Amino acid sequence: MLMRLMRHFLRVLAIALAFSASTATAQDVTVFAAASLTNVLEQIGKRYREEGGTPVKFSFAASSTLAKQIESGAEADIFASADEQWMDYLAQRGLIVEGTRASRLGNTLVLITPISQPRSVDIKPGFDLAGMIGDGRLATGDPAHVPVGRYAEQALTKLGVWPAVAHKLARTESVRAALALVERGEAPFGIVYGTDAAISPKVHVAGTFPADTHTPITYPIAIIAKRDRPEVRRFLQYLNGPEAGAVFRAAGFSVKQ
């Protein structure tokens, strides 16, 4: 009798613990975000938790990769894209919650070199980027699907130098991969976001591309369809609030009011 009672008690306890664990997991917030947001979102997530918020988990990669994963059923609660196109991709498929999308963050596009080879470049129509690269490579995201690569192609096309450098591209899977190639000296030049260059002591900013040479760099953020829960709304509200805004600005992002 006693043994049966003990077994029953242990089963009840196991069920209770499993329910508790699943409830805790359900309350976590998972954010799929563009690689260029890695450092700043980790900082914001840590601060949010310290202020009593729900634990936040992040998955960082190229916006294209994350959008395709979400389309395939990945359990993301929030998507933060490095361009409007990949958020449009999900919106067109009914995969974001209508009314939650906002594009408050902005960035700049810069030309970088390894810190061991600093130089200043006058970025203007017809500048001889191909000659500067020589036999090396220009590291940036693959323009076929990585936002930073698309911005780079737009800027270089507007400046009239794209045909001369297109074959010299080291096409990476994300902006952070392009940054790493320049950090290691494997590419003499790279095109990344201003905020990525700012976090690395191993690269030098050779010049900033004029804003009118490419589509404005914006970061739309939205809740994923069927993932709309109170804790997700609360974190999205925090991301759009003044505390997070101050962290974004300190990291070099522009923030719309």
| Average pLDDT along the chain | 91
Mean pLDDT of 141-148: 97
DSSP string, 50-69: HTTPPPEEEEEE-HHHHHHH
Residues found in the chain: 257
6 falls in which pLDDT band (50, 70, 90)?
very low
Residues 176-223 pLDDT 10s: 999 999 999 999 999 999 999 999 999 999 999 999 999 999 999 999
pLDDT value of residue 10: 36
Q: Does residue 11 carry a pLDDT above 60?
A: no
107 falls in which pLDDT band (50, 70, 90)?
very high
Mean pLDDT of 115-142: 97
Mean pLDDT of 145-174: 98
Percent of all residues in the chain with a pLDDT value above 90, rounded to a whole number: 89
Q: Do domains 2-106+218-255 and 109-213 have the same CATH topology?
A: yes
Residue 10: other Cβ atoms inside 10 A: 10
- Assigned fold of 2-106+218-255: D-Maltodextrin-Binding Protein; domain 2 (3.40.190)
Nearest to 141 by CA among 175, 180, 95, 98: 175
DSSP string, the chain: -HHHHHHHHHHHHHHHHHHHHHHHHHH-EEEEEEGGGHHHHHHHHHHHHHTTPPPEEEEEE-HHHHHHHHHTT---SEEE-SSHHHHHHHHHTT-B-TT--EEEEE--EEEEEETTS-------TT--HHHHHTTS-EEEE-TTT-HHHHHHHHHHHHTT-HHHHGGGEEEESSHHHHHHHHHTTSSSEEEEEHHHHHT-TTEEEEEE--GGGS---EEEEEEBTT---HHHHHHHHHHTSHHHHHHHHHTT-EE--
Q: Does residue 26 carry a pLDDT above 60?
A: no
Domain ranges for the chain, please list them: 2-106+218-255, 109-213
Q: Just give the CATH number of 109-213.
A: 3.40.190.10
Structure tokens at 73: 């059923």
